[in-house]
Amino acid sequence: MKRRVFALTLALSMVLLAACGPKGEDNSSGNQSSSTGSNSDMSTMAPDGSTSIPDSSAPDASQPDGSGSTSSDSSQPPVDEPQAQASLSLNRSDFTLFKAGATFQMKAKADPAGGALTWKSSDESVATVSDKGLVTAVAVGNATITVTDSETGLTASCIVRCNWEEQKPEEGGPADGSDSSSGSSSGDTSTPAGNVDLSAFASDIMGQYEFGMLQLLDADLMEQLYPGMGAVSAEQKLIYGTLMTMNNGEFGLVQVKDSKDVDTVKSIFQTRIDGMINGGAWYPEPTRIWTENSRVVSNGNYVMMVVHENCDAIVDAFNALF
């Protein structure tokens, strides 16, 4: 019995050896080149038949492909960040001065900042410019004001138009409203032969000076803010107001058809100013502006109200129209 069991065991061993032996030899020879090296890189088999792989041979999970290679990263060319484009601009591209000696402050914005700015006038017999950008009217004509940035070499330019009647002496209402009635009393003699385009004048003034959030009032809003103005018969009627609580100024221009209405318009304007001074402006700074920098003037059938820090310069420009 024992011999039979031994024979069967021997036969089974021979069969297994015949089936597995050549395949193991092929694998060992085929892997000969890849298995050379340190024994620490070889996998080991435990007595229970399980296989373990040394940590040094495990793939690096931190690499995208698990290979641990950084060759693909080093082959990528460096990416250049986009460079900001230099620029130079002015607060105006075109403006008008209505009187010799009138001034306007030009402002330049440079990016990057830090370079020295050089100002130049193309014709100093018409208009001059200071090293701070202050333009002064000299004589009737046009000139180009140019600023150059020493840092970038960029330039920006603006046209200044000096426009008034040299042969006619200055005349018109005073800078404050106290004596403005005398201007209206002589209105028939001072009215120009041709109409003054108040819309063009308003555009020039609001182009030169910052007025904030002004809008041309329609009939309903005009009557709310300037009661009685809608009933005045006028050739031209332009009232620029704001509905914001922080009201730093307004601007009104009216040409009446009948000179008798000049005082009516001036009274309406003054009522608006008084209301803003006495609580309507709400805040301290707007109240100060309405108190110190409000003007109502007239010339012939033309009446202007202006509330602005540069009110006197605007009054001069208005008077220069006639």
- Percent of the chain predicted with pLDDT > 70: 65
Q: How much is the CA Rg of the chain, to the nearest whole Å?
A: 45
Residue 41 or 104, more confident: 104
- Model confidence at 96, pLDDT cuts 50, 70, 90, reads confident
User: Which of the pair, 307 or 244, is modelled with greater confidence?
Assistant: 307
- Residue corresponding to tokens 């009274």: 267
Every domain of the chain and the residues it spans: 87-162, 180-319
Q: Kindly report the pTM of this predicted structure.
A: 0.48
Phi then psi for residue 57, to 5 deg, are -95, -5
Residue bearing the bigger pLDDT, 62 or 158: 158
Question: Which range is least confidently modeled, 47-56, 132-141, 169-178?
Answer: 169-178
Question: Tell me, what's the pLDDT at 142?
Answer: 94
pLDDT band at 189 (very low <50, low <70, confident <90, very high): very low
Most confident stretch, 47-61, 95-109, 153-167, 279-293: 279-293
- β 94-97/251-256 pair status: unpaired
Does residue 184 have a pLDDT over 50? no
* CATH code of domain 87-162: 2.60.40.1080
Q: Which of 65-74, 169-178, 218-227: highest mean pLDDT? A: 218-227
pLDDT at res. 76:
72
Q: What are the C-alpha distances in Å from 134 to residues 102, 155, 178, 296? A: 10, 17, 31, 27
Query: pLDDT at position 116, please?
Result: 93
- Residues found in the chain: 322
Looking at residue 29, its pLDDT comes to 44
25 pLDDT band (50/70/90 cuts)? very low
3-state secondary structure the chain: CHHHHHHHHHHHHHHHHHHHHHHHHHHHHHCHHHHCCCHHHCCEECCCCCEECCHHHCCCCCCCCCCCCCHHHHCCCCCCCCCCCCEEEECCCEEEECCCCCEEECCEEEECCCCCEEEEECCCCCEEECCCCEEEECCCEEEEEEEEECCCCCEEEEEEEECCCCCCCCCCCCCCCCCHHHHHHCHHHHCCCCCCCHHHHHHHHHHHCCCCCCEECCHHHHHHHCCCHHHCCEEEEEEEECCCCCCCCCEEEEEECCHHHHHHHHHHHHHHHHHHHHHHCCCHHHHHHHHHCEEEEEECCEEEEEECCCHHHHHHHHHCCC
Of the candidates 172, 163, 146, 145, the residue with the CA atom closest to the CA atom of residue 97:
163
